[in-house]
Homo-oligomer: A and B are copies of this chain.
Amino acid sequence: MRRFAADRARRAVAASLRGAASSRSAAASPLAPAPCHPAPPVGAAAMAAALARTMSTAAAGTPPVSLNTINPKVLKCEYAVRGEIVTHAQNLQQELQKNPDSLPFDEILYCNIGNPQSLGQQPVTYFREVLSLCDHPALLDKSETHALYSSDAIERAWQILDKIPGRATGAYSHSQGIKGLRDEIAAGIAARDGFHASGDNIFLTDGASPAVHMMMQLLIGSEKDGILCPIPQYPLYSASIALHGGSLVPYFLDEETGWGLEVDELKKQLEEARSKGITVRALVAINPGNPTGQVLAEENQKKIVEFCKNEGLVLLADEVYQENIYVEDKQFHSFKKIARSLGYTDDDLPLVSFQSVSKGYYGECGKRGGYMEITGFSPEVREQIYKLASVNLCSNVSGQILASLVMNPPKAGDESFESFMVERDGILSSLARRAKALEEAFNSLEGITCNKAEGAMYLFPRLHLPQKAIGVAQAAGTAPDAYYAKRLLEATGIVIVPGSGFGQVPGTWHFRCTILPQEDKMPAIISRFKEFHEKFMDEFRD
């Protein structure tokens, strides 16, 4: 064996001398010590290593890890929400810090991501009080604590600790999450829907993203497994499908009807995928929509449920914006409520509902709390889902506590109830005003049309760009909406995500913009945006 190694080393030297050491195994150093020799003391070893480095430069020129050797699925995966434009923005931000007068704006405004607290939204006091107490339970025994925390937060912290085995907030929990907290979440779901929910069906996760990955990992075995996804979609789905090596089967939302989700279109795409030999495993529905902001009508949801039932698809319902509804005439209905109201039970339809503490009025993105409620899976398959959860042991316990709180906020009569409602309604009504102000601003501009933000945290306006702008972008090898986003950033400091990161009907161009900048900043942002846009249109007018 040792002789074999020596032979390989000789071949490697020969190859490096020919300058042809391109294969990974040729990276073996010709000075490799025979395995059994004791290593020399540090000083000498360092010298020998330095010598080896000098002598084997050519062989070492092939690094052990390169884009050619890593998992090609990782290369294929894209995630625009934190993509190129954000990296560019971060670089500009550093430039601003070093040299505040170097750019035509004095701050970067991150409208690329639904991250409310990064733009100044304050956390909801009651939730933070409870978390703070659970982090340091010794406080609960001290009388001074009553001077700092509301009495119902103290009581709630006790209740939560009593649900945690040994009151140990620092222990790994059950892999699905703490049973008592899951039961509380199930009670919140039942109160929301008017249908039974069980803590046994809840899997608490670090935000919704790991839950989505877990389901994709379960459902996708090869590129022959397809997942129906809306276009435009939140790129977590395309990224996760790419990472797990499946096929994204697109269905297009209809911009003309306010991003309507038509079952005809689902059917058409499903048949087309099947004709290509793809087994479609699941349908992703995002309601309220991301990036599109629409809220599905109840009748539409019924048809989607029936479609999944009839076609034997898992319904993956992204419902993380369930609290973010800004119009009077729309309401959130969970897909589970819709399915149950149609008379469908666990036997009819496997259904997963994703929820997150990052969204809602609370916007606690940094806490990474969330859950999925799974129904309609056989015990054997559930066991596999549990195994996937258990490999990561459990989600973070603060996030678990917060998930149970947002699903069961203070009730009338609780000491914190009134102040809680003031905070909650203040945030939601402000979001509604901001959504409307931005939508009107976009629609007032030449070359932009924008659907209503009925819910979620985004607008997804369409750019009707002059042909000249499209030509310039394409000549630079950039998608026209990416070109627009880059120019906007460089002129105003506003960060948006080009529509091409979400998918769109070919030949149309959009961008996603959050509605999250604080209200006092909105007029200035709108006027900066308008000024840029008008100049841009003038520059490229056909």
Cβ of A472 within 8 Å of any chain B Cβ, yes or no, is no
Which chain A residues in 30-71 approach chain B with CB under 8 Å? 31-33, 35-36, 38-39, 42, 45-47, 49-50, 53, 60, 62-67, 69-71
A380 in the interface, Cβ–Cβ < 8 Å?
yes
**Interfacial chain B residues near A314, Cβ < 8 Å:** 64-65
Partner of A142, one of B82, B148, B387, B391: B148
A350 close to B63 (CB less than 8 A): yes
Q: Which of A185-193, A266-274, A521-529 contacts B (4 or more CB under 8 A)?
A: A266-274
- Can you list 16 A-B contacts with CB-CB less than 8 angstroms, sorted by A residue number? A32-B310, A33-B310, A42-B342, A62-B312, A64-B350, A70-B384, A74-B387, A115-B171, A123-B170, A132-B139, A135-B135, A135-B398, A145-B148, A148-B148, A172-B358, A396-B398
Interface residue SS majority, chain A: helix
The size of the chain A interface, using a CB distance under 8 A, is 140
Contact between B264 and A35, CB atoms less than 8 A apart = yes
Given contacts A366-B168, A381-B66, contact A341 B391 (CB under 8 A): no
> Complex Cα distance A33/B307, Å?
8
- B63, A378: Cβ atoms closer than 8 Å: yes
Contact A218 B391 (CB under 8 A): no
Are B142 and A27 within 8 A (Cβ)? no
**A interface residues (Cβ-Cβ under 8 A, vs B):** 1, 4-5, 24-25, 27-29, 31-33, 35-36, 38-39, 42, 45-47, 49-50, 53, 60, 62-67, 69-75, 77-79, 81-82, 113, 115-120, 123, 125, 128-129, 131-133, 135-136, 138-139, 142, 144-145, 147-148, 165-166, 168-173, 175, 206-207, 209-210, 213, 217-221, 225, 236, 239-240, 243-244, 263-264, 266-268, 271, 274, 279, 281, 299, 302-303, 306-307, 309-314, 341-344, 347-348, 350, 358, 363-368, 377-378, 380-381, 384, 387-388, 390-399
Closest chain-B Cβ to A542's Cβ sits at a distance in Å of: 37
B residues near A358, Cβ cutoff 8 Å? 172
Pick the contact of A347: B53, B171, B341 (CB < 8 A).
B53
Instruction: Determine whether the beta carbon of A29 is less than 8 Å from that of B63.
Output: no
Distance in angstroms between the alpha carbons of A474 and B175 in the assembled complex:
30
A355 to B129, CA, bound (A): 30
* This chain: copies in complex: 2
A128 touches B136 (CB 8 A): yes
Question: Measured between C-beta atoms, what is the minimum distance from A414 to chain B in Å?
Answer: 18
Please state if A117 and B168 are interface contacts (CB–CB under 8 Å): yes
Provide the residues of chain B in CB contact with A144, threshold 8 Å. Answer: 144, 147-148
B396–A71 CB distance below 8 A = no
Q: A70, B381: Cβ atoms under 8 Å?
A: yes
Cα distance A210–B394 in the bound complex, in angstroms: 11
Given A388-B74, A396-B399, A366 contacting B172 (CB threshold 8 A) = yes
Task: Identify which of B28, B142, B268 contacts A312 (C-beta below 8 A).
Answer: B28
Q: Which residue of B lies closest to A244 (CB)?
A: B71
CB neighbours of A344 from chain B (8 A): 49
Q: Which residue of B lies closest to A153 (CB)?
A: B136
Q: Determine whether the beta carbon of B64 is less than 8 Å from that of A313.
A: yes
- Assess the A46–B306 pair: CB atoms within 8 A: no
Q: Are A299 and B38 in contact (CB under 8 A)?
A: yes
Decide if B384 touches A74 in the complex (CB within 8 Å).
Answer: yes
Cross-interface CB contact of A128 among B135, B303, B377, B396, cutoff 8 Å: B135
Q: How far is the CA of A402 from the CA of B128 in the complex (A)?
A: 17
